Structure formats: structure tokens, C-alpha cells
Structure 1
Amino acid sequence: MKKIILSAAVIFGSLSIYATTILPSEEVKTEVAAQSEYTEISVETVPAAVKTALETAYPGAKLVKAFVNDKKEYKLEIAVKDQKATVYSDVNGNWLKI
């Protein structure tokens, strides 16, 4: 009888080890993309190479706003007819994929 009770206690104890619930961790992972800040500039100060590239790639587009960052990358807000878009260029007029 002792062996049966002892065996039952061991089996019950080993089964209860796996019966614990796993609590979700409170840890929250946050990813922050490094972005360089753009500062607004006047449309007239945009380099000629960027303006030429804009006229070539988007004929009839109107440059609404222009921004520049520390790397001399330009963020251009343009309007073509009734559509608006934002394009990015470097100082030489090469288009950037951002």
C-alpha cells in the first residue's frame, strides 16, 4: 500500500511540473529606424542638377516644397496635375530609393 501511495505521489508530482502556465513576458521590443532630419529650404535654393533631373523624370511637375538633410539629400514634394508625390534625390540629381 505504501508503494502505491508513494508511486502515485511521484507520478502526480512529476505531472504537475509540466502543468505550470507560462506567463507572457512584459518585455516590449522597439525598433527605431535611424532617419536624418530634413529641414525645409526655399524652392529657389535647390541645385540646378536636381531641378534638371526633376524636369527630365517628371515633365510638367511643379516643385511645391523642398527639404535637405545633413548628407545633402533632397526631399522634394511635387505636384503633377492633380496628384502629389514625394521624391528623393542627392545633390547630383540621382534618384534615391527611400
Structure 2
Amino acid sequence: MKKLILASAFAFVGLTAVAQSGEEVAMSETIVVSATQDSFSEIETSELPEAVSSAVATNYPSATIDKAYVNDQKQYKIEVSLEGGTTGTLYADENGNWIEM
């Protein structure tokens, strides 16, 4: 009987260790995804594709593009300010389609 209780205790501890190890992996994967999303390089606003500039002008007619960034996947991060002083960040692909980050 002692062996059965001892074996059960070891099995519980082993499963707990595996679960904690899995959580650590998930956390490190989250960090990698976050780092990938932030891997934008600043570009001149004049370097934005026409489709992206047009999408901003169409959807946010009072917006001024302050800064622009691009990543390896040709996704654009655009920092804009509105007439009322509100600022924001928009993300678009090279065809001017809005994406969520």
C-alpha cells in the first residue's frame, strides 16, 4: 500500500512539473510573437505605397501621417494625428488593407 501511495505522489509531482514546463514554453512563445510584431523599421512617409496612403486619406480624411514603418512582411505601421490632437497607430498591408496587430 505504501508503494501505491508513493507512486501516486510521484506521478502527481511529475505531472505538475510537466504542466509548469508547458506554461514556461507558452510564455516564451508569446514573447517571440510580440518581438516579431515590433520588428518594424522606420521609413520616410513618402516611401509608403500609394495604396496605403490612399487608405489613410479615404478612411481618415483629417489624419496627418507623422511616421511610417515597415517590416519584412511588407506590413506598414503608420502613426497618425487627427485635427483634434488625437493620435493613433494604424497597421496596413502593402495593398492598403487594414490589419490588426
User: Structure 1 length as normaliser, TM-score?
Assistant: 0.68
Q: Matched residues in 2 for 1:49 and 1:87: separation? A: 14
Question: Residue 74 in 1 paired to residue 51 in 2?
Answer: no
CA–CA distance in 2 between the matches of 1:83 and 1:97?
A: 19
Structure 1 residues without counterparts, runs of 5 or longer? 1-9
Give matches, 1:1-98, under 5 Å.
Answer: 25=17, 27=21, 28-29=24-25, 30-31=28-29, 32-33=32-33, 35-36=36-37, 37-80=39-82, 81-98=84-101
Report the CA distance between 1:59 and its aligned residue: 1.2
More helix by share: 2
Could you give the per-residue CA deviations for residues 63-92 of structure 1, whole angstroms, max 9, x where no partner exists?
010001111111000111211111111111
Q: In the TM superposition, what whole-angstrom CA distance separates every residue of 1:48-75 from its partner, at most 9, and x where no partner exists?
A: 1111110111111010100011111110
Q: CA deviation at 1:33?
A: 1.5
Letter in 2 for 1:97: E
Q: Which has the larger radius of gyration?
A: 1
Runs of 4 or more off by more than 3 Å in structure 1? Answer: 22-29
- Structure 2: where are the runs of 5+ without partners? none
- SS of aligned partner of 2:78: strand
Distance in structure 1 (CA, Å) of the matches to 2:51 and 2:45: 13
Where 2:54 maps in the other structure, the secondary structure is helix
Question: What is the CA distance between 1:44 and its match in structure 2?
Answer: 1.1
Note the aligned Cα RMSD (angstroms). Answer: 2.6
- How much identity, in percent, do the aligned residues show? 34
Q: Number of residue pairs matched?
A: 87
User: Aligned partners of 1:52 and 1:82: how far apart in 2?
Assistant: 21
